[in-house]
Amino acid sequence: MKPENEQIVKSFLAHADDLSDDITDDVEEMLGVVPFIFSILRDRPESFALSTLADYRFSRPASLDAKTAELIAVAAAASAGADSCLKVHIGAALKEGASRDEVLDVLLIAAMIGKTRVLASSLRQFREVCGKEQGTGR
């Protein structure tokens, strides 16, 4: 890395503890809770500040309103099987104005995509091993 960029990074990281406090406060306001992982990751202030700052920015892009971003987070958490994240983001989506029906519909869409992912992959393998059934036309 160029020396001038090293100095910028070093200066940024000199404020890692303060940044970590601010990020934690902002995330708690945004989500209504401080995620469990923060309690462990805070043991590495420099990594925590860099990583969570990026995550914080990704979670609230300028192109999406907060409710939409949280509904997307609900779908992603559901599809990843991240139960604790799912609970947090359902609460955050409701906090941002999502209705119970909107959250449920997002979960149903995520489940449908998960189901079709399994079917698409497994049925391709089935067809490869078993071949096409005669007379199906497909």
Q: How far apart are CA 88 and CA 83, in angstroms?
A: 9
Q: Which DSSP state fits 63?
A: T
Rg, C-alpha atoms of the chain: 21
Structure tokens belonging to residue 55: 């995550």
Percent of the chain scoring above 70 in pLDDT: 96
Question: In sequence order, which residues have a C-beta less than 8 Å from that of residue 66 and are 6 or more positions away?
Answer: 30, 60, 96
pLDDT at position 134 is: 61
Last residue of a domain, one of 24, 44, 59: 59
| Residue 137 covered by a domain | no
Last residue of a domain, one of 59, 75, 96: 59
The most distant pair of C-alpha atoms in the chain lies apart, rounded to whole Å, by 71
Contact 92, 59 (CB under 8 A): no
Local confidence band at 137 (pLDDT 50, 70, 90 cut-offs): low
Q: What is the pLDDT of residues 42-59, one digit of tens each?
A: 999 999 999 999 998 999
pLDDT at position 4 is: 96
**Are 66 and 107 within one domain?**
yes
**Are 43 and 74 within one domain?**
no
pLDDT at position 87 is: 96
Full residue range of the structural domain in which residue 113 is found: 62-131
pLDDT at position 136 is: 56
**Are 7 and 53 within one domain?**
yes
| Residue 38 covered by a domain | yes
**Are 101 and 42 within one domain?**
no
Residue 41 pLDDT > 70: yes
Residue 106 pLDDT > 70: yes
Report, as an integer, the average pLDDT of 58-81.
Answer: 96
Give the total number of structural domains in the chain. 2
